[in-house]
Structure 1
Amino acid sequence: MSVRKLLLMLCCMLAPLGAAVQAQTLPALRVGLAEDPDVLDPTLARSFVGRVVFSALCDKLFDVDEKLNIVPQLAEKYEWSADSKALTLKLRPGVHFHDGEKFDAAAVKYNIERHKTMPGSNRRGELAPVTSVDVVDPMTVRLNLSAPFSPLLAALSDRAGMMVSPKAAQAAGDKFGAKPVCSGPFKFVERVAQDRIVLERFDGYWNKAAINLGRITYLPIPDATVRLANLKSGQLDFIERVAPSDIEKLQQDKRFKVTRITEIGYQGITINVGKSDKAQATPLGKDARVREAFELSLDRQGLAQVVMDNEATVGNQWVAPNNAYYAKNMPVPKRDVEKARALLKAAGVPNPSFTLLTGTTSDAQRLALVVQAMAKDAGFDIKIQAAEFATSLNMADKGDFEAYVLAWSGRPDPDGNLYSFDACKQPLNYAGYCDAETDKLLNASRTTRDPAERRKLFEQIAARVLKERPIVYLYHRNWLWAYTNKLGGVRQIPDGLLRVGGLKLAAN
């Protein structure tokens, strides 16, 4: 063997070792999550904490900035056709997946088609108008639509725009989420359910100069008090969803920093009105008058005060009252216990009973207890059933619930908070709500790009959906983060996700 070939072999052998050594010498970040994520497959995933992990693991075609503007990520440029029925993307060159495979137009085509056709996909509703994908050239791809689709760019800035390695996904099939292979700044190392998710710096990342961490470990800790204790003891560097009652003291502790971001999502209670036979098991699911009485029994401002220490904006829709697309024709109703009792009497059920499913996180537990106490004043007998978050999602998917405390982290376009939850047979329509006229209005709101016309359509949608109450919207939380003062570069983006690019962690 020639000396040149020997040197080449040695270089190839030492390159991965050098990358591993570099990852080990860089600081390691430990992040406390409020829940354990569900499956780490962008096509199938549906949890907020999963999106937190994905922000380090899987790059998207687009991202959003602090003002929710759409900004480039894997797609450098885009152009709409004259009739708004085709979107052409110019892709970023020099991008590789964690398995070394090249990212190109064929990979985008594969991913979009996977999102649309994979059994159990939670992205198909977000990409429903996309009829086909054309590979124009190796770095140019065109998405063809059945009609103009206003929310498409916003959808591509989230999981519908995440790109996984076609080679790895085809090989793993429905087991891909157990060992995901994407193109983000960090690659998957291991996952122990209910314990940890470990990611390591990907040395082949296209923007690796912005990555100053060698490893990230995500630890699910549902109890906010325990999460905070771990931060204070130095076992964690960053925690999300701090208990609002802890914020004041944290702000006085110079060892830590606190960040407050108003979410673009909502906190609500989803009611089974048609998802399964359980919709007919209680008056709450069968009778809209009982659901109206339930809403009238609740004091939203009181909920925000007691549950969130006023770290929330009360609301009754999928967007907050200060949002440009808030339907002003359906304002936030005030608590009216007497009217609630009258509605229950008219419905023939003065003391209805139902079970309220909730996750095991501290905020969800508090909300369930306060709702239980408030609704009791109107005659409701509510039993609380707690389940680990991923388990509760599976129960909701099967319709194995009567009412469910469920928050949605939100999307930049209102459609992302609405369509998948209220359009017939959509993957996130846990309530089982289905109305042909509402579907027509929802589809119309997606095809027009005129903001004034969309506002009118959202008002009509609100008038129908809020009357039936498949979801009783309560408030819009502040994302509350706390982290060591040694961590710099934290960006405040309203989707509540921690961007790892630019983060710097000083040595102890």
Structure 2
Amino acid sequence: RLANLRAGDLDMLERLAATDAASVRGDADLSIAQATSLGYQGITINVANGERANSPIGQDARVRKALSVAIDRDVINQVVFEGAFAAGNQAYPPTSPWYNAAYPVPTRDVNAARALLAEAGYPDGIDITVQVANNPVQQQLMQVIQAMAGEAGIRITLEAKEFATLLSEQTAGNFIGSQVGWSGRVDPDGNIHQFMTTDGGLNDSGYSNAEVDRLLNEARTSNDIATRRALYTQASDILMADLPIIYLYHQVWIWALDSGIQGFVPYPDGMIRLQGVSMTQ
């Protein structure tokens, strides 16, 4: 697609690969636009969805926290995405008004991860299996995480699967960990309610907490921003301790454009809106 843009066969392309961003910035005939997405990528942990939830990481939040603090999200961004994406640890990006600032993206702490494993009764570490989509970007992501986690005593075996199969296995509970993401929604409810409430439509982890249910159900019935923000903050206080999903990063939508295009505005939902856009030859 980038070659076609440079050849003049295209005027714009969406979702430029992060690894191509530097090349586009160095091309006087092209311009670049970007916006941090509304969604996220993370590792969903099976905590109560069938027999495979009976694993150390599924049954003990301390083990899940150990994996989280063993990961250097900034290094992932640099190594896999050449610094183009945004590190994250919540259902919303740090640029969102719904982000809980009391929990900034954690720094990596291997010693803390090992201490958490020992506290949970696993001083010699654990072995887990994580399924991942069989595309090169997500596999590279999980290989970096595999190396980081291994240094903390969390030995990860990766299972590469076709994406539709991965989703099917998640729904069926046939997984321990699953590297998967969500495209995101403008309203915060769309990023969290169906994933975290008991019997939520996309709650593949099987997570259930009555107080989280109450808070998220109440938040979706209010149209007062301050009220909703307080409720989501209270819910995230619980979820940051329980960690049914270990959030990793937020994709940045990147557009590459012919330099003759003027007035294009990038939006966090990734949609192309051409109102006000013009082009000079």
What's 1:409 paired with? 183
- Partner Cα distance (1:396, 1:439) in 2: 21
Correspondence 1:327 to 2:104? no
Task: Rate the CA distance shift 1:330–1:486 in 2: closer, same or farther, 3 A.
Answer: closer
Total equivalences in the alignment: 280
Cα deviation for residue 331 of structure 1 reads 3.3
Cα deviation for residue 503 of structure 1 reads 7.5
Task: Rate the CA distance shift 1:419–1:243 in 2: closer, same or farther, 3 A.
Answer: same
Task: Rate the CA distance shift 1:230–1:426 in 2: closer, same or farther, 3 A.
Answer: farther
Work out which of the residue numbers 220, 226, 231 in structure 2 matches 1:446: 220
Task: Rate the CA distance shift 1:255–1:329 in 2: closer, same or farther, 3 A.
Answer: closer
Stretch deviating more after TM superposition (359-368 or 414-423): 359-368
Task: Rate the CA distance shift 1:486–1:375 in 2: closer, same or farther, 3 A.
Answer: same
Q: Is the 8 A contact 1:330 1:462 kept in 2?
A: no
Cα deviation for residue 466 of structure 1 reads 1.5
Correspondence 1:313 to 2:48? no
Quote the RMSD (CA, aligned, Å): 2.6
Correspondence 1:245 to 2:19? yes
Q: Is the 8 A contact 1:318 1:418 kept in 2?
A: yes
CA displacement 1:279-304 (0-9 Å, x = unmatched): 11x31112211101101101122222
Cα deviation for residue 473 of structure 1 reads 1.3
- Partner Cα distance (2:158, 2:3) in 1: 27
Helix, strand or coil at the partner of 2:93: coil
- Partner Cα distance (1:470, 1:394) in 2: 18
What's 1:293 paired with? 66
Stretch deviating more after TM superposition (418-427 or 490-499): 490-499
What's 2:174 paired with? 400
Helix, strand or coil at the partner of 2:251: strand
Correspondence 1:387 to 2:161? yes
- Partner Cα distance (1:252, 1:357) in 2: 37
What's 1:470 paired with? 244
Helix, strand or coil at the partner of 1:447: coil
What's 2:75 paired with? 302
% identity of equivalent residues: 42
What's 2:48 paired with? 274
- Partner Cα distance (2:8, 2:139) in 1: 27
CA displacement 1:406-453 (0-9 Å, x = unmatched): 222211121111101111111211222111121011111112222222
- Partner Cα distance (1:399, 1:368) in 2: 20
Amino acid at match of 1:341: R
- Partner Cα distance (2:184, 2:252) in 1: 12
What's 1:183 paired with? none
What's 2:33 paired with? 259
Cα deviation for residue 229 of structure 1 reads 5.1
Correspondence 1:353 to 2:123? no
Cα deviation for residue 495 of structure 1 reads 0.3
What's 1:162 paired with? none
Helix, strand or coil at the partner of 2:220: helix
- Partner Cα distance (1:231, 1:406) in 2: 30
Which consecutive residues of structure 2, in runs of 5 or more, have no partner in the other structure? none
Cα deviation for residue 312 of structure 1 reads 2.5
Q: Is the 8 A contact 1:244 1:311 kept in 2?
A: yes
What's 1:198 paired with? none
Q: Is the 8 A contact 1:259 1:482 kept in 2?
A: yes
Task: Rate the CA distance shift 1:355–1:230 in 2: closer, same or farther, 3 A.
Answer: farther
Task: Rate the CA distance shift 1:327–1:378 in 2: closer, same or farther, 3 A.
Answer: same
Q: Is the 8 A contact 1:409 1:496 kept in 2?
A: no
- Partner Cα distance (1:233, 1:393) in 2: 38
Task: Rate the CA distance shift 1:292–1:427 in 2: closer, same or farther, 3 A.
Answer: same
- Partner Cα distance (1:504, 1:360) in 2: 39
- Partner Cα distance (2:11, 2:199) in 1: 41
- Partner Cα distance (2:10, 2:158) in 1: 31
Amino acid at match of 2:241: K
Helix, strand or coil at the partner of 1:355: strand
Work out which of the residue numbers 271, 275, 279 in structure 2 matches 1:497: 271
Helix, strand or coil at the partner of 1:407: strand
What's 1:376 paired with? 150
- Partner Cα distance (2:11, 2:49) in 1: 41
- Partner Cα distance (2:151, 2:272) in 1: 41
Which entry has the higher C-alpha Rg, 1 or 2? 1
- Partner Cα distance (1:308, 1:479) in 2: 12
Amino acid at match of 2:157: K
Helix, strand or coil at the partner of 2:53: helix
- Partner Cα distance (2:165, 2:27) in 1: 36
Task: Rate the CA distance shift 1:400–1:481 in 2: closer, same or farther, 3 A.
Answer: farther
Amino acid at match of 1:403: G
Helix, strand or coil at the partner of 2:42: strand
Cα deviation for residue 277 of structure 1 reads 1.8
- Partner Cα distance (1:250, 1:313) in 2: 19
Q: TM-score, normalised by structure 2?
A: 0.88
Q: TM-score, normalised by structure 1?
A: 0.51
Cα deviation for residue 274 of structure 1 reads 1.6
Q: Is the 8 A contact 1:354 1:382 kept in 2?
A: yes
